[in-house]
Amino acid sequence: MNIKTFSTHEELSEQSAQYIFEIIQKKIGETGTFVLGLATGASPRLMYQKLIQKLGTSDLDLSGLHTFNLDEYYPIRQGHPQSYFQEMYHGFWKPLHDLNQSFEITNGHILNGEAPNPDMECRIYEKMIQKTGGVDLQVLGLGINGHIGFNEPGSAGDTRTRQIDLTPETREANKKYFGDDLEKVPEHGMTMGIGTILESKEIVMIVTGEKKKEVFEKLQRLSAPTEDIPASFLLNHTKTTFYSDLA
């Protein structure tokens, strides 16, 4: 496992943002395009702020930058304040566009929590990722039960983008965003599969905060992937770097 350890969340966020900025700058300079995979949640939030500053104040032409999010609740209205659509609109696409208007907000892609046919939505999303050239770099956060995206324990390593049932642990962990009311947390989600994630050319996994210590330690003790800890399938990916602030 390739692990980079930092003494603070601030330092982790700065260094991962700078690294991702340089990768984007290089490929956009060479080909004019970049496909960035995004996660929602607290782990990458500060990194995103820093990345947006770097991209937004650069003179890069970002018209060929596309982003694809890992997952979305289902069902949920795109206008719902807790939809991942809103989180990305306000936390990434809009602030980046405001700073550098060459980035088109319509190039920010996310599974549609209002889609009438979620299975078809997932298939179309996979096709769209492939048509755009595949994910160049995927950002991930680590669930306390080892999930990545909404791939909960028990997910196989070859799963594709699909609708899933959220586990009680994940609904419990996310209820803080729904006024601490478990009933308000959607019971399902749609997520890129583990197989889909592993096709990313490069992966940056952000592991931050004491709550992740136990699962991260378990992950480091493994010698082979297990469905009990979906993040362990990253052991099969040759270009994954873990950015951690855990000693």
Rule CB under 6 A: which residues touch ligand F6R?
39-43, 70-71, 141-143, 147-149
CA distance 193 to 133: 17
Is 237 tagged catalytic? no
- Rank residues 62 and 194 by Cβ distance to ligand F6R and give the closer one: 194
Q: Residue with the closest Cβ to ligand F6R?
A: 141
Select which of 66, 69, 71, 112 is catalytic.
Answer: 71
Instruction: Give the neighbor-by-neighbor strand order of the sheet with 188-191.
Output: 71-74, 188-191, 162-165
Select which of 87, 121, 136, 152 is catalytic.
Answer: 152
Is 236 tagged catalytic? no
Select which of 80, 126, 145, 169 is catalytic.
Answer: 145
171 close to 185: Cβ distance less than 8 angstroms:
yes
Is 71 tagged catalytic? yes
How crowded is residue 7: how many other Cβ atoms within 10 Å of its Cβ? 9
User: What's the min distance (Å) between Cβ of 129 and ligand F6R?
Assistant: 15
The answer to whether the peptide bond before residue 75 is cis (omega within 30 degrees of 0) is: yes
Token representation of residue 107: 């190039």
Is 147 tagged catalytic? yes
- Rank residues 107 and 174 by Cβ distance to ligand F6R and give the closer one: 174
CA distance 211 to 188: 24
User: What's the min distance (Å) between Cβ of 105 and ligand F6R?
Assistant: 19
Q: What amino acid positions are annotated as catalytic residues?
A: 71, 145, 147, 152
